[in-house]
Amino acid sequence: MPQTVQPPLQFLPPRLTPWVVRFVQTGLPFWLRWTKGIPRVEVEGGERLAQLYQQFEAGKIRLLVAFRHPTLDDPPCLLYLFAHLLPQVARQQGIRLRQRPHVLFVYDRGLPLWLGAIASWGLPRLGGIPILRGRLDRAGLKSSREQLVSGPYPLAVAPEGTINGMSGLLNPLEPGVAQLSFWAVEDLLKAGRPEEVLILPVGLCYQYLRDPRAALDRLLRRMEANCHLPTGRSAHVGKESLMARLLRLAEHLIQTLENFYERFYAPALPAATWAKRGEGGDLRTRLQSLLDLALRVAEQRFGLQPQGDLIERRHRLEQAGWSWIYREDIPDVAALSAVEKSLADRIASEATFHLWHMRLVETLMVFAVRPLPEQPSPEELAETALRLWNLLAWIKGQNPLVAPPQLGPRLARFRIGDPLSVSERWPTYQANRRQAIQALTQDLQAAMERLLPSPVAIPAG
pLDDT tens digits, 286-298: 888 899 999 999 9
367 and 427 in a common domain: no
From residue 153, alpha-carbon distances to 60, 65, 121, 134 in Å are 13, 11, 20, 27
Taking residue 243's Cβ as centre, other Cβ atoms within 10 Å add up to: 19
Is residue 316, in this structure, part of any structural domain at all? yes
Residues 6 or more apart whose CB falls under 8 angstroms from that of 105 comprise 75, 78, 126, 127, 128, 129, 155, 156, 157
Examine the pLDDT at 1 and tell me if it is beyond 60: no
Q: How many CA atoms lie within 13 A of 10 on its CB side?
A: 9
Strands 410-416, 196-208: pairing kind: antiparallel
Alpha-carbon distance 135 to 432, whole Å? 23
Is residue 403, in this structure, part of any structural domain at all? no
Residue-number span of the structural domain to which 254 is assigned:
213-395
Least Cα distance to 276 among 292, 294, 298 occurs for 292
H/E element, 104: strand 104-108
**CB-CB contact of 379 with 207 (8 Å):** yes
Instruction: Work out the burial of residue 306: count CB atoms within 10 Å of its CB; fewer than 13 is exposed, 13-18 middle, 19 or more buried.
Output: middle
Q: Which of 395, 424, 439 is the last residue of a domain?
A: 395
151 and 135 in a common domain: yes
One DSSP character per residue, 119-174 reads HHHHHHHTTEEEE-TTS--HHHHHHHHHHHHH-SS-EEE--BSS--S-TT-PPPBP
Is residue 274, in this structure, part of any structural domain at all? yes
237-243: long-range pairs with CB below 8 Å, 24+? 237/213, 238/460, 238/461, 239/213, 239/376, 239/381, 239/457, 239/458, 239/459, 239/460, 239/461, 240/460, 242/213, 242/216, 242/217, 242/381, 243/372, 243/376, 243/381
Encoded amino acid at 185, one letter: V
pLDDT tens digits, 349-392: 999 999 999 999 988 888 877 777 778 888 889 999 999 999 99
64 and 185 in a common domain: yes
**CB-CB contact of 237 with 213 (8 Å):** yes
Residues 6 or more apart whose CB falls under 8 angstroms from that of 92 comprise 47
Examine the pLDDT at 273 and tell me if it is beyond 60: no
425 and 309 in a common domain: no
For the CA atoms of 37, 42, 43, 44, what is the dihedral angle to 10 degrees? -120
Alpha-carbon distance 445 to 170, whole Å? 8
* pLDDT band, residue 61 (cuts 50/70/90): very high
pLDDT of residue 310: 86
Instruction: Work out the burial of residue 363: count CB atoms within 10 Å of its CB; fewer than 13 is exposed, 13-18 middle, 19 or more buried.
Output: buried
Instruction: Pick the more confident residue, 376 or 413.
Output: 413
Quote the number of domains for the chain. 2
Alpha-carbon distance 119 to 121, whole Å? 5
Least Cα distance to 410 among 26, 32, 78, 79 occurs for 32
310 and 342 in a common domain: yes
CATH number at residue 22: 3.40.1130.10
Buried b / exposed e across 78-100, counting CB within 10 Å, b at 16+?
A: bbbbbbbbbbebbeeeeeeeeee
Examine the pLDDT at 458 and tell me if it is beyond 50: no
151 and 29 in a common domain: yes
Is residue 402, in this structure, part of any structural domain at all? no
H/E element, 413: strand 410-416
Is residue 459, in this structure, part of any structural domain at all? no
Angle formed by the axes of helices 338-369 and 283-302, nearest 10°? 160
65 and 186 in a common domain: yes
* pLDDT band, residue 459 (cuts 50/70/90): very low
Is residue 369, in this structure, part of any structural domain at all? yes
Q: Which of 351, 370, 395 is the last residue of a domain?
A: 395
227 and 137 in a common domain: no
Instruction: Pick the more confident residue, 23 or 6.
Output: 23
* pLDDT band, residue 270 (cuts 50/70/90): low
154 and 32 in a common domain: yes
pLDDT tens digits, 11-46: 888 999 999 999 999 999 999 999 999 999 999 999
